[in-house]
Amino acid sequence: MRTLRFLLQKEFRQIFRDPSILRLIFVMPAIQLIVLPWAADYEIRNIKLAVIDHDHSSYSRNLVNKVTASGYFSLTDYTGSYQEALSEIEHDRADIILEIPASFEKNLVKESEAALFMAVNAINGVKAGLGSSYLRSIIQDYNKEVRTEWIQFPRFSPETKIEITSSNWFNPLMNYKVFMVPGMLVLLLTMVGANLTAINIVREKEIGTIEQINVTPVKKAHFILGKLIPFWVLGLVVFTIGFLIARLFYGIVPFGSMLTIYVFAAVYLLAVLGLGLLISTYADSQQQAMLISFFLMMIFVLMSGLYTSIDSMPDWAKAVTKANPVSYFIQVVRMVVLKGSGLSDIKYQLLTIGGFAVLLNSWAILNYHKRS
C-alpha cells in the first residue's frame, strides 16, 4: 500500500504541475458545455425563401406575410420568374422556392381549392425536411384562417372541429438543450477517462519511465492502479463541474437522485479507463494514442444516440450501438435527469457497463503483460 500511495502522490503532482493537462481537464470541458449546446440545436430558423408570385392578389400577399412573420423564414427574393428563383437556389441564396400560380385567388374563391408549388434545396436533408415541414404547416394554418372567414353563419352551418389537448412529459418546454447537455456531459467524461489516460501512459513510455519501473520491485498492478485512480477521481470532479455548469447556464436540475448518476458514472469510468489503458498498450507514441482515441470517439459519438435517435437507425447500426458503452451512459443520464429514474430502472445498463469494465481492463492488463 505504501508503494501505491507513493505512486498516487507522484501522479497527482505530475498532473497538477502540467498546465496543458489542467487546461484539458478543467477549461476545455467548461468551454464545450457552455458553447456547444447553443450550436447543436435542431430548431432551424432563417430559412431563405424565394417567392414566385404570379397572382399578385391580396390572398397571395397575405400568405407571404404569414410565412415571413413566422420567424422561421427570411424572404430573399420576390419575383415573377421561376428561372430567377431557381438561380437563387443554385447560388445558395435561397433554400426553398414557393410558387403561387396566377389563378390562386380565383380558384380559392370560386372552386374552394388552389395549388401551390414548392421546390426545396435538399443538399442538407435535415434542413430541407424541417423547412418544407414548417412551410406546409404555415400554409395549412393559413388555409384554416381562410375557411373561417368564409363561414358566414356558423350557427346554421357549423364546421366539424376536433380539439386536441396535449401535454409534454419530461421536457415540457421541448427545450433541445435540456436533451443535449446531459449527453455532452457523458462525452466529456469519456474524453477525460479514455483519451487523457492513454496519452498519459504513452508519455511514460516515451520518456522511459515504464522501463525504469519494470526493473524495480514495483508491482505492475500498483503501477496500473497508480495511473488509473487519479483519472478516475478527476473524471468525477469534471462530471461534477459539468453538472454545476448545466445548473447555472441551462437551469437543468435532475429529477432523479444524483447518487444514482454518480454510481453509474463511477462504474462507467472504470470501463473508459480500461479503454484508455488498452489504447496505451497498442500505441507507441502520443500521436498514435491521439489518433486511435479520435477514431474511437468519432464512432462513439455518431453511434451513441447523442444527436440522432438510435430507434431511427438501420438494424446493423442498432447492433453496433450495443457494443458502444457511451450509448448506455447517455441513455441513463437522460433517464435520471429528465425522467427521475432510479437504480432499479437502470440495472440492465449498469450490469452491461460493468461487463465492459471487466472486459476492457482484463484485455488491457493481459496485453500490458505481453508487451512489457
| DSSP secondary structure, 275-317, as one string | HHHHHHHH-SSHHHHHHHHHHHHHHHHHTTTSSS-GGGS-HHH
Q: For position 28, what pLDDT does the model report? A: 78
Q: Report CA 305 to chain centroid distance, whole Å.
A: 7
Residue range 47-150, CATH number: 3.40.1710.10
Q: For position 155, what pLDDT does the model report? A: 45
CB 100 within 8 A of CB 53: yes
pTM of the entire predicted model: 0.78
Pairing mode of beta strands 96-100, 47-53? parallel
Q: For position 105, what pLDDT does the model report? A: 84
Distance CA 343, CA 337 (A): 13
| Residues of the chain scoring pLDDT < 50 | 153, 155-162
Distance CA 197, CA 364 (A): 12
CB 45 within 8 A of CB 72: yes
Q: How is the beta sheet containing 73-79 ordered, strand by strand?
A: 73-79, 47-53, 96-100, 117-120
Domain ranges of the chain: 2-40+173-371, 47-150
Cell numbers that stand for 1 in this block: 500500500
Pairing mode of beta strands 47-53, 73-79? parallel
